[in-house]
Amino acid sequence: MMEKFWQVRNDVSSDAEILIYGPIAAERSWFGDEATPQQFAQDLNELGGRDVTVRINSGGGDVFAAHAIHNLLKSYNGRVTAVIDGLAASAATVVAVAADKIIMPSNSLMMIHDPAIGLSGYYPAAELSKLVEALATIKTSIIAAYRKRCKVSDEEIEKMMTNETWMGATECKENGFADEIIGGVAAALNGNTLVINSVSYDLNRFANSEAAKNKFKQSEVRDMPSGKLEKFLNALGLQELLEDTQTSVPVGNQTTVNNTSSASASDNIEAVEAAVVAERQRVLDLEALDDGQNAAITAIINEAKKSGKTVEEVKNYVEAIKNAAPAGAVANAAQNVVATMVADNKNSGVDGVAANPAADEAAVSAAADAKALDKMAKVMNSKFGGAK
């Protein structure tokens, strides 16, 4: 019996959620097993028509399962919002485009490609011809699902699928695959392994892995708008603080999940829950560093919480600021800007902890600002004295 690959959260005190992390149907047929279209429909029906958020971080899976979920979501009475919690690839995009609204963090990704069938055994030409026809029919159905919201022609969609096209959040919005770009997710690229919002993907299993890696690197840079801190540092002639801001947002101490076809849905869900616990502890540890007496330290802690940094990554800078004795206009301006950032953070409402907390648009630049703040601490310390 195949376990469910989705998790439903129907807490009356908060929004209803459906969490799809990992393979859809684990690349197995879900008809006749425990995880059936009827079971998904029942889970959806139990939400009672409440607005629901579908959180997706999946490399794809069974296209028939994805189509069934797509149709169920399209016919659901409540409003459906899809949030791409990291990656929506292959069949996972079919689920995503069923939503009334699609939200993507700035460094999340989508990938569309031609459907494929895995074969074992020996088949005559006639049987293979039938499979080719079936794949063409499946592709037509996928294009029909995309067409309902895409801003490009069927011919362009078909070409994009043939080329296995990877898209960052900006391209998705331009092409109609997304409606809003809000916040960012913890992500890192290590060789051919992409770890994004605590789920690990082996890019070798995709035909166009180099395009995937390049698109991830581009999205980390292009989709991260300049923050107030960057403008401030440029005005003061401290551009050196912004070097290396094009690197990936660190994953911190979050638990990664090996997203392979052999991993069960329950394992993925358990890993996500473990990541939530680890994330809460990370935030508590960071808050313990802040005594509330120094605006610069408070700003660094706030930005570290949003960008995935750990205590070990920021404590040296916090100590440097505690021991520094800044003087002069530049130092005063630095204190003023971080004080402003503290006020902005308090007004943004970013104080909840979840697997992927929704972020205010003003906090999109948190990762870049956090890195710049770290370097600011170094420069302030070296220019104005203090611990080294």
pLDDT in tens, 137-195: 999 999 999 999 999 999 999 999 999 999 999 999 999 999 999 988 888 888 889 98
Q: How far apart are the first and last CA of the chain?
A: 60
Confidence of residue 314 (pLDDT cuts 50, 70, 90): confident
pLDDT value at 250 more than 50? no
Class of domain 7-223: alpha beta
**Per the confidence metrics, is the pTM higher than 0.75?**
no
Per-residue pLDDT of 61-95, as tens digits, reads: 889 899 999 999 999 999 999 999 999 999 999 99
Greater model confidence, 10 or 269: 10
Per-residue pLDDT of 156-172, as tens digits, reads: 999 999 999 999 999 99
pLDDT at 236: 45
Q: What is the mean pLDDT of residues 99-105?
A: 96
Q: Compute the distance between CA of residue 299 and CA of residue 316 in angstroms, rounded to an integer.
A: 15
pLDDT value at 295 more than 50? yes
pLDDT at 187: 85
pLDDT value at 328 more than 50? no
Residue ranges, CATH 3.90.226.10, the chain = 7-223
Greater model confidence, 326 or 278: 278
> What average pLDDT does the structure give for the chain?
75
pLDDT value at 282 more than 50? yes
pLDDT at 356: 45
3-state secondary structure the chain: CCCCCCEEECCCCCCEEEEEECCEHHHCCCCCCCCCHHHHHHHHHCCCCCCEEEEEEECCECHHHHHHHHHHHHCCCCCEEEEEEEEEECHHHHHHCCCCEEEECCCCEEEECCCCCCCCCCCCHHHHHHHHHHHHHHHHHHHHHHHCCCCCCHHHHHHHHHCCEEEEHHHHHHHCCCCEECCCCCEEEECCEEEECCEEEEHHHCCCHHHHHHHHHHHHHHCCCCCHHHHHHHHCCCHHHHCCCCCCCCCCCCCCEECCCCCCHHHHHHHHHHHHHHHHHHHHHHHHCCCCCCHHHHHHHHHHHHHCCCHHHHHHHHHHHHHCCCCCHHHHHHHHHHHHHHHHHHHHCCCCCCCCCCCCHHHCCHHHHHHHHHHHHHHHHHHHCCCC
**Phi/psi of residue 55, each to 5°?**
-95, 125
- Max mean pLDDT among 84-98, 110-124, 243-257, 328-342 falls in 84-98
Greater model confidence, 270 or 191: 191
Q: What is the mean pLDDT of residues 343-366?
A: 44
Q: Compute the distance between CA of residue 105 and CA of residue 359 in angstroms, rounded to an integer.
A: 9
pLDDT value at 340 more than 80? no
Q: Compute the distance between CA of residue 111 and CA of residue 214 in angstroms, rounded to an integer.
A: 13
